[in-house]
Chain A
Amino acid sequence: MPPPTPAHDDVVHSESFLRLLMRRQLRLSIASAAAFLVALLGMPLLNYFAPTFMATRVGGFTLSWLILGVLFFPFVWIISWIFIQRSIALEDEEVAEVRRGKEQAK
């Protein structure tokens, strides 16, 4: 005989909790991805439509080379650092909400 399955009528297992959870996380991920993609996909466009500007010399480098070959890496670190901080905070908040809900139910 299978062991009794836990009750599934609490907050955690509700449809609304899952939707909220996924929506919040996806929003955070998409916002971070958008910041990154605007820069990444914008570079070829700048190269395409403003070649003279992107060829400006910056201490020997061209502007385009300096951005892509050097500055892009720290930019990505900043985005990921912000994402990680927010994502950890978001999870803590979710856990706290669930615990509060359980205590109220008692």
Chain B
Amino acid sequence: MINPLFAFLGGVDPWIFACSFVTVVVTVGMGFWSAKTSKTTSDFFVAGRAVSVGWNASAISGEYLSAASFMGVAGMVMSSGYDALWYPVCYACGYLFLLLFIAGPLRRFGAYTIPDFAEGRYDSPVFRKIAVVFVLFIGFFYTMPQMKGAGTTLAYIFPGMPYWGGVVLVGVVITLNVALGGMKGITLVQAFQYWAKMFAISVPVFVLMGVFGFYNGHLGATATATTPAVHVASVERKPLVEKAPADSAWIAPFGPLTTKAAKAAGLSNEQAKPYSLLYTYSLIMALVCGTAGLPHILVRFYTNPNGVAAKRTTMWVMILIGIFYVFPPIFGVLGRNLLPELYAATGAKGTDKIVLELPRMINERYGVWGSIMSGITCAGAFAAFMSTFSGLLVSMTAALAHDVYGRMLRPDARPAERLKAFKVSAVIVGGVAILLGTQVEDLQINFMVGQAFAIAAASYFPLLFMSVWWRNMTTKGAATGMLGGGLAALACTTIINLSDLKKVDLNAFWATHPLIRILCEQPAIWTVPLAIGLMIVVSKLTAAQVPSDIRMKMLVLHAPEQLGLKQEYIQEHAAGTGH
């Protein structure tokens, strides 16, 4: 007789379980091991500042490749086809924007976090408090898809386990890990995690393609509106289920993802196309600008020893994540032909689990190898949501402990108290993230990450971009723009989620107003200009309040580090005006 407590263990594939279990144990173990080497408070925040380019690039990539990249992209390519390709492309390309406009100056300015930058650039502790709020907003939006990834993966490994069980289990393990380990552990663990994820996505893809036929063969089996399918002998195709999108809509641009709102309003294909174009541009804008505004990514630029190293790091990050992003869509394409039954399922059992389940098909031909491959992708999924979740948790916890506690509530706290505050904050943030995670089973992983990007694009991106390149920005201008754009994006995405989760019924309204639906679902196209516009107008109105030492600040941001202006600036600042 099986103890009812362990009933969820029924139907578990031992290979898959073993691979996942090893990943979790190694990750947690590395966290604890490195916790011993990071004793001081500053170690917790920026990892002692000396990390080599290779390690740092791997660590940034490891942190960046979240559940959305590992599971969500494949799931969305399978469910929506071509339009979903914008996600991996823009996830990778957003880094270019970061490199071109923001990484260098911010690194020269030398603040720990975006709130540090906001305070330093405007000499305003008040502005810092406003800026720090968005670390939490964006962070929580980004943790929700990670939690969905966790719930989906555990529901796949343990067929008897409810979705929320996985969310709680993974959430608790990582929260404890962060509370005890801090960021020093995270750098090392993240770098390892990148290579684990790369291995876990690429090896099963090659094996799958070797067994079932190549990427182009499977894509060729799908007919477009103008060209028939190209049949390759090795490529089999199972009949599509009723809920699956038709071939010609799936493989072509402006498919189900971007036309959904217009179709719900009863528009024809031709009428829907302009809406679809608008949706696409807004999505691109959110993802490209949003990357530059992600709080947990920027922190790592300060762990580079100098500006040249920071640039080299960014180059390597783009190569590392660019190679990675070629693979997930392959799962989506093969999945459409081999596992179409996933189209009929929803929530944790839907297309978001294609990466986990597809390799198991190999079992049909080569015995246990399918389970092993599936175990590998499960291990990669664990690496994905665990690393991103812990990176976010560190950023959000630092915001709470370093900013809210250390600067606002108890500026005179002793180091021991600060360390304790870090641990307590980690538990609070982790708890809220778990709670939110249990609510979002029916939203697509990738879609939710896109929302976090949209909020970052309308708040932090304009703040950073304008502060770095426009000297006439005032504190009031920056704050108004960031709040205006960011809160508008936050409101839109929240409404969409509440509506899609059926907490409020807006379907009748959306059906009559497809344009509003699109502008809410992908708000970046109007919220980013709104934020920048507000910044310019309000700064002009308050032009007298431009910081008096603005020329020196701009020099520190833009002059090469070899000139040593930073040290000079710090000395003057310490000596001079009211600090």
Does B560 interact with chain A (Cβ within 8 Å)? yes
Given A18-B554, A54-B253, A68-B86, the answer on whether A95 and B562 have CB atoms closer than 8 Å is yes
B216 & A44 in contact (Cβ 8 Å cutoff) = no
Q: Which stretch from B90-98, B348-356, B379-387 is at the chain A interface? A: B90-98
A2 & B576 in contact (Cβ 8 Å cutoff) = yes
A65 & B82 in contact (Cβ 8 Å cutoff) = yes
Instruction: For residue B121, give the distance in angstroms from its CB to the closest CB of chain A.
Output: 15
A29 & B101 in contact (Cβ 8 Å cutoff) = yes
Contact with A along B69-95 (1 / 0, CB 8 A): 000000000000010011011101101
Residues on A with beta carbons closer than 8 Å to the beta carbon of B100: 29, 32-33, 83
Q: Number of contacting residues on B, CB 8 A?
A: 67
Which of the four size classes fits the interface of chain A? 35 or more
Residue pairs across A and B with CB atoms within 8 Å: the count is 162
Contact with B along A32-68 (1 / 0, CB 8 A): 1100100011001001100110111101111011001
Does B280 interact with chain A (Cβ within 8 Å)? yes
B555 & A88 in contact (Cβ 8 Å cutoff) = no
Instruction: For residue A105, give the distance in angstroms from its CB to the closest CB of chain B.
Output: 15
B85 & A40 in contact (Cβ 8 Å cutoff) = no
Does B183 interact with chain A (Cβ within 8 Å)? no
A73 & B253 in contact (Cβ 8 Å cutoff) = no
Does B252 interact with chain A (Cβ within 8 Å)? yes
Pick the contact of A73 from B252, B311, B314, B326 — CB < 8 Å? B326
Query: With A and B bound together, what is the CA distance between A81 and B92 in angstroms?
Result: 15
Contact with A along B92-112 (1 / 0, CB 8 A): 110111011100100000000
Given A13-B555, A60-B220, the answer on whether A79 and B326 have CB atoms closer than 8 Å is no
Residues on B with beta carbons closer than 8 Å to the beta carbon of A87: 104, 311
Q: Which residues of B contact A (CB under 8 A)?
A: 82, 85-86, 88-90, 92-93, 95-97, 99-101, 104, 214-220, 224-227, 230, 232, 251-254, 273, 277, 280-281, 284, 288, 307-308, 311-312, 314-315, 318-319, 322-323, 325-326, 329, 469, 551-552, 554-555, 558-560, 562-563, 565, 568, 571-572, 575-576
Closest 9 CB pairs of A and B: A60-B216, A60-B220, A73-B322, A47-B253, A91-B560, A2-B575, A29-B100, A55-B224, A68-B85
Q: Which residues of A contact B (CB under 8 A)?
A: 2-3, 5-6, 12-13, 15, 18, 21-22, 25-26, 29, 32-33, 36, 40-41, 44, 47-48, 51-52, 54-57, 59-62, 64-65, 68-70, 72-74, 76-77, 79-81, 83-84, 87-88, 91-92, 94-95, 98
